[in-house]
């Protein structure tokens, strides 16, 4: 089992890395004022809106709202996994990553090292057997698969018979290469099948998929069981091979079978992957979205294909962040990606892919097919069905698009009541351009200055009284104070990192990326911060005094504590 990386180490690592140097090596930056700028590497633009702060050690794009620290930049730009990004940065600054359980995922213990060796030996054995069995070679030729493609995917063959794979029996059983029956006898799991190695991001074989070549044999596909190195819900067939031959990836096609991936690659479509015999998981979808911004799910057009697509849609919703797209390609009846590209070729496949449904189109088509929408009752039922999918989407611009589609398709105008049916929340204005707010309220200014210099929190004193106010943004400001009080020496980038996944994460980065007009390189920010806090306290005094005064004016009586407070507030005013 791999260990977790201590939070303190991650904080220390981010404090040692210069994000300007890191990003400039990949995206040339130009200094303008206090910050560095470039055209955003995450969306197409002509004028630079991608800002990198050396002081706060984070990046933010005012166009697409992409933001983060050095770790997230490597994950998004270099398509690294979280641990891989940390290991890369640690190597650059000469640190060794400590793991809380004492072992690193990239330095497996001796047992898992032996598992990898066992699986690699099996891969080599099956590849050698493929060359020795003409029936397997003939089958691949019949399916239009060349030797070159077979080699790229390390395809092999498991011959007939029960006892072919060799090695340490315990390791072969653990890796799933052997099965032990009730009598205690062992035999090969894979027999008389084409073998497709499943490889991790480092190219190590972690499992196998086997496909029959005799239509009379069953089951059609057989997969390795889970093991210490293989977790079915996390791995994706063909992702390693895809990254070996593609430097720039626009979209990934997600198919249901190994032969689909191999057949598409044979015809020049080298950006296809497959799930491992089960519906694609949310974890797998997130993993793919970190590699590319557009996923195209390819399914048969029959009922089973549409059900599989619907499960993919459900598992995609939570991953639909800025710039990410999920599309759904339904092939003509009787075709899967393998047979379609074999018959019609690459150009026709891409032409069909351009017509793939967007997620919202597929969502609406499916829900609209489940009932009528011509009566008030039917429309209300449709909105009820839409709600659980709508609320899972984190990207507000996509949710706004869905609301506009609702108005268009149902020929109605969404009032407060209908918006609440969809979201369970009060109405909000849709299609509103998100423009950085330039009006610096005391709350916004205090947040901005704290994100520049967290140590300012020590000058604020007790702010618990602000909990009683309805000043916009105060709850977020107090959450920042809580984080700083827990870690008094926290840096700006680590403070922002504490809010990863927070409902106000994007808003925090927007505020942090902006520079108040009254602030220049020579301005001392401590007096500005103290003045912002003073004005917030004054706002509390005004609101509390008004509340007590209103109680008196309405004929109410103040208790002794309230009378004393009332006099104190009068003095403060």
543 against 209, higher pLDDT: 209
> Which residues, at least 6 apart from 378, have a Cβ–Cβ distance to it below 8 Å?
371, 372
Where does the pLDDT of residue 505 fall: very low under 50, low under 70, confident under 90, or very high at 90 and above?
Answer: confident
> Which residues, at least 6 apart from 572, have a Cβ–Cβ distance to it below 8 Å?
538, 541
| Tens-digit pLDDT profile for residues 433-455 | 333 445 688 888 888 888 888 98
Where does the pLDDT of residue 283 fall: very low under 50, low under 70, confident under 90, or very high at 90 and above?
Answer: confident
Over 90: is that where the pLDDT of 129 sits?
yes
102 against 65, higher pLDDT: 65
| Tens-digit pLDDT profile for residues 524-541 | 788 888 888 888 888 877
Find the range with the poorest average confidence among 2-16, 211-225, 285-299, 312-326: 2-16
Neighbour tally for 297: CB within 10 Å: 28
What pLDDT does 429 receive?
42
Mean pLDDT of the 335-351 span? 95
Spatial contact of 102 and 3, defined as CB atoms under 8 Å apart: yes
**Which tokens sit at 332?**
């003509």
Using CA atoms, how far apart are residues 138 and 226, in angstroms rounded to an integer? 31
Find the range with the poorest average confidence among 75-84, 236-245, 277-286, 465-474: 465-474
Selection from 301-305, 422-426, 488-492 with the highest mean pLDDT: 488-492
What pLDDT does 514 receive?
84
Mean pLDDT of the 293-310 span? 90
Which domains does the chain possess?
7-93 (3.90.580.10), 110-223 (3.90.980.10), 239-364 (3.40.1360.10), 370-423 (no CATH), 442-572 (1.10.860.10)
Please give the distance of CA 499 from its chain centroid, rounded to a whole number. 16
What pLDDT does 478 receive?
86
Eight-class DSSP state of 250: S
What pLDDT does 1 receive?
35
Over 70: is that where the pLDDT of 549 sits?
no
Spatial contact of 208 and 222, defined as CB atoms under 8 Å apart: no
Using CA atoms, how far apart are residues 174 and 283, in angstroms rounded to an integer? 24
Q: How many CA atoms lie within 13 A of 544 on its CB side?
A: 22
Mean pLDDT of the 145-170 span? 95
What pLDDT does 436 receive?
42
> Which residues, at least 6 apart from 277, have a Cβ–Cβ distance to it below 8 Å?
209, 221, 223, 232
> Which residues, at least 6 apart from 200, have a Cβ–Cβ distance to it below 8 Å?
206, 229, 235, 240
Helix H, strand E, coil C: the string for 270-308 is CCEEECCCCCCCHHHHHHHHCCCCEEEEEEECCHHHHHH
Mean pLDDT of the 35-49 span? 87
Of the chain, the percentage scoring pLDDT greater than 90 comes to 38
What pLDDT does 427 receive?
43
To which residue do tokens 């090292």 refer? 113
Using CA atoms, how far apart are residues 558 and 571, in angstroms rounded to an integer? 17
Using CA atoms, how far apart are residues 5 and 102, in angstroms rounded to an integer? 10
Q: Please state the pTM of the whole predicted model.
A: 0.62
| Tens-digit pLDDT profile for residues 346-403 | 999 999 999 999 999 999 999 988 888 888 888 888 888 988 898 888 777 788 888 8
Eight-class DSSP state of 230: B
What pLDDT does 523 receive?
63
What's the whole-number average pLDDT of the chain? 85
Mean pLDDT of the 538-567 span? 66
């Amino acid at each position: 089992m791999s260990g977790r990386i201590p939070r303190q180490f991650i904080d220390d690592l981010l404090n040692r890395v210069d994000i300007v140097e890191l990003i400039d090596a990949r995206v040339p930056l130009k200094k303008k004022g206090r910050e560095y700028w470039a055209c955003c590497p995450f969306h197409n633009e002509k004028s630079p809106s991608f800002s990198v702060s050396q002081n706060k050690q984070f990046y933010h794009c005012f166009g697409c709202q992409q933001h983060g620290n050095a770790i997230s930049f490597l994950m998004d730009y270099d398509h690294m996994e979280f641990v891989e990004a940390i290991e890369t940065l640690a190597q650059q600054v000469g640190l060794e990553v400590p793991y809380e359980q004492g072992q690193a995922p990239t330095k497996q213990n001796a047992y898992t090292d032996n598992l990898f060796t066992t699986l690699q030996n099996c891969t080599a054995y099956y590849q050698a057997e493929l060359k020795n069995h003409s029936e397997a070679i003939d089958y691949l030729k019949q399916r239009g698969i060349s030797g070159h493609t077979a080699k790229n995917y390390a395809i092999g063959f498991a011959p007939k018979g029960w006892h072919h794979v060799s090695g340490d029996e315990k390791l072969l059983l653990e890796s799933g290469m052997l099965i032990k029956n009730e009598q205690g006898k062992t035999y090969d799991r894979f027999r008389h099948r084409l073998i497709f190695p499943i490889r991790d991001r480092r190219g190590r074989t972690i499992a196998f998929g086997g496909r029959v070549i005799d239509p009379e044999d069953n089951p059609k596909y057989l997969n390795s069981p889970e093991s210490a190195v293989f977790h079915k819900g996390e791995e994706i067939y063909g992702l390693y091979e895809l990254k070996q031959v593609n430097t720039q990836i626009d979209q990934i096609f997600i198919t249901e079978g190994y032969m689909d991936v191999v057949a598409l690659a044979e015809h020049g479509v080298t950006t296809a992957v497959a799930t491992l015999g089960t519906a694609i998981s949310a974890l797998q979808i997130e993993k793919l979205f970190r590699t590319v911004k557009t996923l195209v799910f390819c399914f048969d057009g029959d009922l089973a294909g549409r059900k599989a697509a619907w499960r993919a849609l459900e598992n995609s919703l939570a991953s639909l962040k800025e710039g990410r797209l999920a599309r759904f390609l339904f092939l003509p009846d009787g075709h899967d990606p393998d047979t379609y590209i074999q018959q019609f070729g690459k150009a026709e496949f891409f032409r069909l892919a351009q017509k793939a449904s967007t997620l919202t189109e597929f969502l609406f088509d499916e829900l609209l097919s489940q009932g009528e929408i011509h009566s008030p009752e039917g429309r209300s039922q449709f909105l009820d069905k839409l709600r659980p999918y709508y609320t899972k989407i984190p990207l507000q611009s996509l949710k706004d698009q869905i609301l506009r589609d609702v108005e268009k398709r149902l020929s109605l105008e969404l009032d407060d009541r209908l918006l609440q049916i969809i979201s369970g929340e009060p109405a909000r204005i849709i299609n509103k351009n998100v423009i950085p707010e330039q009006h610096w309220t005391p709350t916004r200014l205090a947040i901005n200055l704290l994100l520049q210099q967290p140590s300012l929190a020590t000058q604020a004193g007790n702010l618990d009284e602000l909990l009683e106010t309805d000043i916009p943004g105060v709850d977020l400001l107090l959450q920042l104070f809580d984080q700083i009080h827990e870690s008094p020496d926290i840096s700006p980038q680590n403070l922002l990192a504490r809010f990863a996944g927070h409902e106000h994460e994007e808003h925090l980065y927007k505020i942090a990326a902006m520079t108040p007009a009254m602030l220049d390189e020579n301005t001392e920010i401590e007096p500005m911060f103290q003045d912002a806090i003073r004005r917030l306290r004054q706002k509390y005094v005004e609101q509390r005094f008004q509340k007590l005064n209103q109680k008196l004016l309405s004929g109410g009586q103040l208790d002794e504590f309230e009378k004393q407070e009332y006099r104190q507030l009068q003095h403060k005013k």
